[in-house]
Structure 1
Amino acid sequence: MGVYISEKIWDFDLQAALAEISEQRREQALKFKHEQGQRLCVLAYQLLKEGLRQEYGITDNPIFDYNEHGKPSIVGHPKIYFNLSHCKEAAICVISDKPVGVDVECIREFKDSLVNYTMNDEEKAEMSRSDNPEATFIRFWTMKEATAKLVGTGITHDVKSLINSTKYKYTTVERQRYIYTVCEYL
């Protein structure tokens, strides 16, 4: 499995990068209203291209097919699994020979209503004991989102029960301003 992450959101020529990606991804990037969203969308795709080149020798722009819940796969490469995510601080891509999910989120304040909707009692208790409840919340949230992306359904059912350490393996990394989690089947 390869994890590719970049915080260099503003360190490339957006117009040149848009010209080097697939038309499909360019259209998706240009749907973002603000330049930062466009850059993050392009950067995540560039990370995928880099990973495909390094791990598989693939140099063509990948074209995506999507399942009914929006989970992408690469046309012509059914045995290559990947997942993309971005937040305002970073973009990430994970590539594997097995299904995989990833989420990256900025550490920030949260509302109690969101905690009550998304976290179970054990998670809430851990957050209340934490020296940094914001980071603890984001750690749990990225685990839940990465799980939903691994399964390929998105968050369509009980969010409180998404984390399952007997079924999934989680790798969570905390950086100064964001946290990311990679989720795989055991």
Structure 2
Amino acid sequence: MDKAELITPKVCIAIGSGGFMENDIAEITQYVSAERLKRAERYMQRRDRNNCIVSYFLLRYELLRYCGINEVPPMEQDKYGKPYFKDIPLFFNISHSDEGVCCGIAAENIGVDIQSIERRYENILKNTMSANEIELIAGSDAPHEEFTRLWTLKESIVKYRGTGVGDHIEQIDFSACSGGKFIHDGLIFRSERYGEYYVSACTSEHEPEFIKKELSRYISEYQQLIRA
């Protein structure tokens, strides 16, 4: 696949209201690999199992919708455990939180994160935020929202790097970064709020496009694509 075929990174977002509908989950199960279904069954909570299935389906949707690929290519993991496609020059990243799921796909490295507004952050504040960020949160009219926004930005760059918990996220400082789109340390960031959720993405070359739809609409569009 030519890298130019996917110039703008795409981040698809689905948020369930009270959880994803079981009929939608049943519908997309036919498009999910046996390996992914087995992985989903490892989760104790139904919500987490459903999120695992939905995230895989969103990846399939993006591959078909934006890349014309109707199967999920073989994957491998790097030394930090970050999955990647073995044989094609595409990058992807997945995140889910509570009833929200997002999946990013790009022809460049990408990291994404979704997080419901965190209302109990005091115990982890010093281990996750810089001194400037702690001051920013303390002075905010909506400290829970500010903490969650900063958290998703940090997670997006950590997932972009693929280093996971090895990164000291309290040393990453976004206190001077405001607005929904900005460049920081030579990387491109986008962050948006959707109801009780924040979604952030980090890329290297092009500003990501965010797409939010109901899961049922993703399903309908996917089925139209496979029939075309």
Amino acid at match of 1:121: A
Q: Which residue of 1 aligns with 2:193?
A: 174
| Worse-superposed segment, 114-123 or 158-167 | 158-167
Q: Which residue of 2 aligns with 1:54?
A: 65
**Whole-Å Cα distance in 2 between the matches of residues 115 and 123 of structure 1?**
9
Matches within 5 A, 1:1-150: 1-8=9-16, 9-11=19-21, 12-77=23-88, 79-150=89-160
Aligned length: 185
- Aligned residue for 1:58, secondary structure, equals coil
Would you say the 8 A contact 1:21–1:61 is kept in 2?
no
**Whole-Å Cα distance in 1 between the matches of residues 91 and 59 of structure 2?**
11
Shift of 1:163: 4.5
1:143-176 alpha-carbon deviations (Å, 9 max, x no partner): 1111111001112132112347123221000111
Amino acid at match of 1:161: Q
Would you say the 8 A contact 1:86–1:103 is kept in 2?
yes
Asked which structure has the greater RCO (Cα within 8 Å, sep 6+), the reply is: 2
Aligned residues with identical type, % of pairs = 25
**Whole-Å Cα distance in 1 between the matches of residues 97 and 107 of structure 2?**
25
Would you say the 8 A contact 1:24–1:63 is kept in 2?
no
Shift of 1:16: 4.7
Point out the structure with max Rg over C-alpha.
2
Would you say the 8 A contact 1:69–1:153 is kept in 2?
yes
**Whole-Å Cα distance in 1 between the matches of residues 122 and 46 of structure 2?**
31
**Whole-Å Cα distance in 1 between the matches of residues 70 and 39 of structure 2?**
20
Structure 1 residues not aligned, in runs of 5+: none
Shift of 1:76: 2.3
Shift of 1:30: 1.2
TM-score, structure 2 normalization: 0.76
Judged with a 3 Å threshold, the aligned counterparts in structure 2 of structure 1 residues 22 and 76 are, in CA distance, closer, same or farther, namely farther
Judged with a 3 Å threshold, the aligned counterparts in structure 2 of structure 1 residues 10 and 143 are, in CA distance, closer, same or farther, namely same
TM-score, structure 1 normalization: 0.92
